[in-house]
Structure 1
């Protein structure tokens, strides 16, 4: 009696620890999902590489830098003067040829162009060429003025903005700005940094809760082997612990599918245009969320898959636990075929193992697809430096569900021994009686 009391006390303490840790893990994971969703939205490629405003911003930075670095003095001024004079002389020659050709087509008198005669007589084009050095100096003096450079920059940026507004569709920043307001930050980079630090703090807390769950789970498995004679109460406490694992397994995400471009760089006017951490695709779903999405599609085939997922991942395990409790407190149910199937044989048909393999296969397959496709992107765009990455990873929901499957198998074995024990004892007593009678 005292031994059972000690075991029951240990199980009760473990169950309380599991309840507190499970609630903490679920709460923290819910907070993490909100934070990760916001960070993913801010890092979406539509606000970066696929956003003309982001390109404009980097162009503006480069143009401003180039104009500030523009120094026309000494040898540089001499080189610039030669190039500008050459350009102006060529432009005047081109204009002179065009001017005279047009006037000859529209002759004024007897096929003679009086305008061309006047231009030659007054040496208009020659006088223009004589003024080229003065005009060149005026241009160079204009460019050396800081105020004029700012005007040139503003003009160039205005032209770029005018072109992009008439060519590209503008991005809706409502969600983006709402997230910035939510975290009281001014820029996406600052907001992501804020979210990352918060995620680290939550992750540290969650590691503590998960460590408690892992430790309690290991102890429970050991107790299932150590306890020689299980009682109804001890089996009930084991089943309640399994319920916690099942709940976490079906409500927490099982896998994060995350494909992104870690870095993209190209050179423009000797300066680097770069985009970092551009999210291409992200999904994070739990079993219940997947089932809900499938059932809401309205397509027969998809709904059928959703029903099967719900049946084998949620309804079957719950039915198994309820049947186990019923069998523990009412041994006569061991003759019921449905109860026996759910408690002792449904493990083979619950598709838990198939589901585990399917998750692994989808994880590995998606990893291969993303790695292959992004590698092609890196190889095909020769003028860019593209570094792709695949951050897909299994989540806690997968491990909790796997823990439930393992624990439910051990519980079923323990119940099997428990209900067979009276029969075995009865046979032993009968054999002893027969032996004594023969003697």
Structure 2
């Protein structure tokens, strides 16, 4: 008798630990999802590769660097002189040809007075004689720091003018709100801060989840090896299983995360790069998936939402309620519905099917995303693209799987108890 009381006390302690740990891990998960959503938003591709402001910024850096590197001295000045002179001579020849052709077209009787004057006074020849002087003036102009800044300013103004009339501007409202929320000044600092906070939350949650795992393993061992099962003990088992069900239903089960880890291309010998660009991210719990489907307004989608809610929420809860009812009212063991929910469903529970379906969906999404991202990575020869699929199963999946397994053992324990003679 004393041993049985100690066992009951131990079960109550385990249940209290499970309740506190379940509440804590749910709180951690809520906080983690908020911070994760902020981090995903900052990493969204619309603020990176699809953001013309980012391209302008990288163009500006390259132009600034190239103008600073422009030192026309020694051999560089000699080479620049040759290229500029060749360009000026070619331009003058082209202008002369165009000029004379236009005058011939307008001339009457096949004679152009303008062309005769240009040849007589050797206008284009005189221009070519001044090419060396003009060349030196151009080189001196390019060497002046103030002129370089003006050139850079002009180029950037032209780029900005072009992009303003061509590309749609990004709405930074949400972006700025997140930056302000974490009291930082730059995107990189904000990402670093959120990542540190997420790691801290994950470490704490892993400890809590380890406590939950140990507690449920203890309950499972008691179910398997305790010979003197009682209504009280089985009730504790059922309440413990309810904790797993609630966590499994309300915590995210799967995260679909497709992103470009890095993209690089060369412009004027300088790299243009973007890193950690999120293409798609979704993290949903069973309840969230069901709610979204039911709100779509399409019969087929709503039907799937009803089935998800039925087999992942209503059916398991009904099973737990039926187990409690049968436990305290033995006469219900002849009720076909009760017997099905408590005993028969454990062998082919739709919960098992749901867990497997979610797992297979995860595998399927992984394959699809990896395949599509691989095509993106290999489809453009001029780009160096490294794609990443960070999809993963979430805590909700493992909690729901734990509920399914524990409920099967609880059903077997109840069956042994109710099948005993009442005098036992």
Alignment TM class, shorter chain as reference: over 0.9
Partner SS state of residue 284, structure 1: strand
CA distance in 2, matches of 1:226, 1:114: 117
Deviation (angstroms), 1:100: 2.2
Moved over 6 A (4+): none
> Match for residue 101 of structure 2?
101
Q: Secondary structure at the match of 1:388?
A: strand
What is the aligned partner in structure 1 of residue 165 from structure 2? Answer: 166
1:131-146 mapped onto 2 (5 Å cutoff): 131-146=130-145
Q: Which of the pair has more CA radius of gyration?
A: 1
Does 1:343 pair with 2:342? yes
Query: Structure 2 stretches of 5 or more lacking a match?
Result: none
Q: How many residues align?
A: 424
What is the distance in 2 between the residues matched to 1:397 and 1:249? 4
Distance 2:177 2:85 in 1: 54
Kept in 2: contact 1:313–1:350 (CA 8 A): no
SS at match of 1:259: strand
Residue 369 of structure 2 corresponds to which residue in structure 1?
Answer: 370
For 1:347 and 1:298, the matched residues in 2 are separated by 34
Could you tell me how far 1:304 is from its partner in structure 2? 1.0
The residue number in structure 2 matching 1:230 is 229
Q: Distance in 2 between matches of 1:104 and 1:255?
A: 77
Contact 1:378 1:388 in 2 (8 A): yes
Aligned CA distance change for structure 1 residues 404 and 111 (closer, same or farther; 3 Å) = closer
Q: For structure 1, which runs of at least 5 residues remain unmatched after alignment?
A: 427-439
Q: Deviations over 1:22-41 (max 9, x none)?
A: 01100000011111111111
Match of 1:87 in 2: 87
Task: Find the residue that maps to 1:421 and give its secondary structure.
Answer: coil
TM-score (norm 1): 0.94
* Partner residue, 1:175: 174
Distance (whole Å) between structure 2 residues aligned to residue 267 and residue 97 of structure 1:
38
| 1:202 corresponding residue in structure 2 | 201
User: For 2:337 and 2:90, how far apart are their aligned partners in 1?
Assistant: 98
Distance between the aligned counterparts of 1:143 and 1:265, measured in 2? Answer: 30
Q: Deviations 1:282-325 (Å, cap 9, x if unpaired)?
A: 11000000110111111111111111111111111111111111
Offset at residue 396 of structure 1 (A): 0.4
Query: Does the aligned pair in 2 maintain the 1:316–1:350 contact within 8 Å?
Result: no
Per-residue deviation, residues 259-303 of structure 1 (Å, max 9, x unmatched): 111111111111111111111111100000011011111111111
Give 1:18's aligned residue: 18
1:433 equivalent in structure 2: none
Q: Deviation of residue 177 (structure 1)? A: 1.4
Q: Which moved more, 1:384-393 or 1:161-170?
A: 161-170
1:32-111 to 2 correspondences below 5 Å: 32-107=32-107
Q: Which residue of 2 aligns with 1:357?
A: 356
**What RMSD over aligned residues (CA atoms) do the two structures have, in Å?**
1.4
Structure 1 residue 212 displacement after superposition: 0.5
